[in-house]
Each structure stands twice: as C-alpha cells, then as structure tokens.
Amino acid sequence: MLLDEMVERGLPEETRMMRDVTRKFANEHVIPFTRQNWRREWNMNPDERLPRKILEVADEIGIRTLGVPEEFGGTPLDPKTETQTFAVISEEISRGDCGLAEKLVQIWKVSVLLRNVAPRHLQEKWFPEVVKDPTFLLSHCLTEPRGASDRWLPYDVPEAMMHTRAELKGDKWVINGRKQFITNAWDAKLYVVYATTKPGAGMTKGTSCFLVPRGTPGLTVARCNETLGGRYMNNGEIALEDCAVPGDHLLVQDVALARAGVYFRPGKIIQGSKNLGVAVRAFEETSKYVQEYVQGGKKLIRHQATALRLAEMATKICAVRGLLREASRAVDEKLPEAEVLCNMVKLYASEAVLDVCRHAMELHGGNGTMLEFGIEKLYRDASMYLHMDGTVDITKFKIVKNLFPDTAGKYAGND
C-alpha cells in the first residue's frame, strides 16, 4: 500500500528495523489476541485482561525497556533520533492495541525522566528491577481529581497548584493527597508522584516529585477506572495518606514541573503516534472491507461516497504523520519550536484520528457498531485522546501562548 511506502521514507536504518520487528509483534501476537478475545477487554477484573505472555514477548524483542540506560540492560537507541524512534514504534504497537501501547510507553517516558533527574543510587536500584521483570510497569502520577487540566495550563498561577502536599519531617517526606486518571496506576510497581512543597509559589516553583515504590505504607491503589477506550492500560487512582518516603527518594525539589519537559515533550510525540496507530489500523481494516463487501450490486469501493471518505481518511493520516515527523525531529534536535510543534501534534492528531475512525465505523455500516467486529473499538480508543495529556482546549491555549507569548490572554484567576 502506498501509505506503507511513505512510512519508510526518511527513517534511519535502526528505526526501520525496530519498526519491522514491532509490526511483526503486533500482527502475530497483539491483533490476533484482541480479535479472538474481544470480550476480555470488558472483564471487570483488570488483572485478567491482558495476558502476561504479551508483555513477555514485548520484553523478548526489546521494546519494553526502551529508554532504560544500556548500562542497566535497557535497549539502546541513538540519542540523535530517540524521539523519532519512539514515535514509529509506539505507532506500531498502538496499531495492535492502544491500551497495550499506553502500558509500554509509560515505561519509556518515565525511564527517560529517571535517567535525567534521578540520583545515581536510585537508578542503580530501580532500573535493574525494571529490566529483570517483564511485568514491571512504571507510572507517572500528576493528574488529580480537581483541576486536572490546570496542570497543563500555560500560566504559572498559585490557584492551579496541586492539592497533594509533601512535607519534610525528619529524614522522610510525608505525602498526602490523591491522584486520578493515572496510566498503569492499577498495576505499576513504581510511581513518580508530584506534590506541592511550596504552597502559593506557583506550579513551576513549588512542585516536587518523588519516587514511591508500590507497597510503601500509606500508598493505596484505590481503584481501576473503567474507561471507554484503551482498556488494557488499567488507568487508575491512588490515595496517599501520610505516605512517608525516604528523603533520598526526592527526585526534584520545587522545580519538578519545570524540569519535566524531558518527559512531557517526547510524551506529546508518543501520544500523537499512539493515536496515529489507531487511525492506520482503522484505515487498513476499512480498505479491506470496502473491497470485499457488496452493496447496491457493486463493491463499496466503487461507490463515489466511499471513495470520498477513503481519500479524506488517507489524507488526514498523512498529515498527522508529517506533523509528527517534524515535531519529533525538533525534539531530538532540541529546536526552539519543539514545544509548540508537540502541542500541535497532540491537538491535530486527537481530532483528525477521531474523524478517521468515525469514517471507518460508518463505512462498515451496521457491522461498524458490533462489538465482535472490532471497528467500534477503534472509535472508542480514538476518543480517549481528546482528553489525554491535557484537553484539546487547554492544548489550544498552550499553542497560542507559544506563538504569541507577549500578547496572548492571561489566566483569569479566581471567580
């Protein structure tokens, strides 16, 4: 298919090889599992949804430990093209299942954060633990029940600060609060938790982050959120009640959000690429369907209305991919436009991919709404990205703030 040929162009050889390995993994393990076991997505016991075998195979082919330093056993990547490689691989995993992609890419993103901000002794302790256990998952705990989108505002205002607080008492940091909508929260074994340490100082001057192992007294996994899509990621909620962590488990004091760009920028790229993978799968399934299904005496592909929709789907996929390539290159090269391009990717991909999946569902007719057919799943999965890593409206605020820093509107403050 022409779209596949366009994916290959311009990719470094290392990235192309990893893409091929990941696509094989998706085709041979992930897609057959999700199609043959479509009911498992709706199992209300989150521990029984995704079989261990899937994570073990991901580990065997080296895509689970991307981002972990090679000295600790991680899969090495060329730092000059790391974000671009993340994008290509996460697209392929998400083409198989976006929930699985969410599970795995959280390991990559948190590992990138830890190798940049974690003290050496914590890296030496935890990276080997991640590598040796195929089921070891990481979780980044930022969002809270109140004011979730405030954390993504381009305005550093005290009223948007976190309700979770951390206080230094003796040689321990004591954390109290609640985190919500957290990827991997249900089954992670290690959490990066953000909390206010300087009330009233503003988000970028008064927020710290800590490394909190599962099983730490005071940390409770409160629930697994039953989401509309991406259900294999086991998004959840954690409660912290007098959760005391050693003083040396502090990662960044007071300026954690200012230092988190190393996590957030690749995260936006990966978010867009996961979304793109859903669209590619929707286009692939629809392309096959319209060339086999007959309506009105001829195959669907011969109907003009079908052709119009397919053209729009393919164009949006190519547009998302082009913007992704440009933004991921900007992140790898640390260009000044990286921030605005990352937000543009998140915005455009979330809206364009949902349109692609809506066309896919409608071109399948009644079959598109049937659970066992698998198309409605892609539509549900795509809908999740409107709200992940900030809502589309908050993302628009950030784009305008990047473009017009001196004249963009200011945060209104309290009512």
Q: Taking all residues of the chain, what is their mean pLDDT, rounded to a whole number? A: 93
Confidence class for position 159, pLDDT limits 50, 70, 90: confident
More confident residue, 194 or 259: 194
Burial readout 269-306 (b: 16 or more C-beta within 10 A, e: otherwise): bbbbbbbbbbbbbbbebbbebbeeeeeeeeebeeeeeb
Overall number of domains in the chain: 3
pLDDT of residue 264: 87
Query: E strands along 85-231, which residues?
Result: 138-141, 165-169, 172-182, 190-196, 207-213, 219-224
pLDDT of residue 97: 98
DSSP state of 75: B
Residue 334's CATH number:
1.20.140.10
Residue 409 lies in a domain: no
Burial of 9 (0-12, 13-18, 19+ CB in 10 A): exposed
Last residue of a domain, one of 225, 257, 289: 257
Are 185 and 201 in a shared domain? yes
pLDDT at 134 over 90: yes
Residue 412 lies in a domain: no
Helices 98-117 + 52-60 axis angle, to 10: 50
pLDDT at 415 over 60: no
DSSP state of 410: P
pLDDT of residue 8: 65
Residue 203 lies in a domain: yes
pLDDT at 98 over 80: yes
Do the Cβ atoms of 222 and 141 come closer than 8 Å?
no
For 244-278, what is each residue's pLDDT tens digit? 999 999 999 999 998 888 888 899 999 999 999 99
Are 251 and 275 in a shared domain? no
Residue 302 lies in a domain: yes
Are 302 and 399 in a shared domain? yes
Last residue of a domain, one of 222, 257, 292: 257
Residue 200's CATH number:
2.40.110.10
pLDDT of residue 7: 64
pLDDT of residue 197: 97
Q: How far is CA 383 from CA 40, 63, 186, 229, 354, in A?
A: 20, 26, 22, 7, 6
* C-alpha closest to that of 281 among 148, 99, 408, 110: 99
Are 102 and 183 in a shared domain? no
Mean pLDDT of 385-403: 90
Mean pLDDT of 130-158: 84
Residue 121 CA to residue 157 CA, distance in Å, equals 34
pLDDT of residue 411: 59
pLDDT at 283 over 70: yes
Are 268 and 252 in a shared domain? no
The alpha-helical segments, DSSP class H, found in 291-337 are: 304-332
Are 162 and 264 in a shared domain? no
pLDDT at 334 over 80: yes
pLDDT of residue 3: 65
Last residue of a domain, one of 228, 257, 286: 257
**Positive/negative CA dihedral, 384, 270, 333, 320:** negative
For 295-329, what is each residue's pLDDT tens digit? 889 999 999 999 999 999 999 999 999 999 999 99
Please name the residues in contact with 147: beta carbons below 8 A apart, sequence gap of 6 or more.
160, 163
User: Which range of residues forms the domain containing residue 388?
Assistant: 259-403
Q: pTM for the complete prediction? A: 0.94
* C-alpha closest to that of 164 among 202, 185, 195: 195
Are 249 and 304 in a shared domain? no
Mean pLDDT of 7-28: 88
Residue 116's CATH number:
1.10.540.10
Residue 414 lies in a domain: no
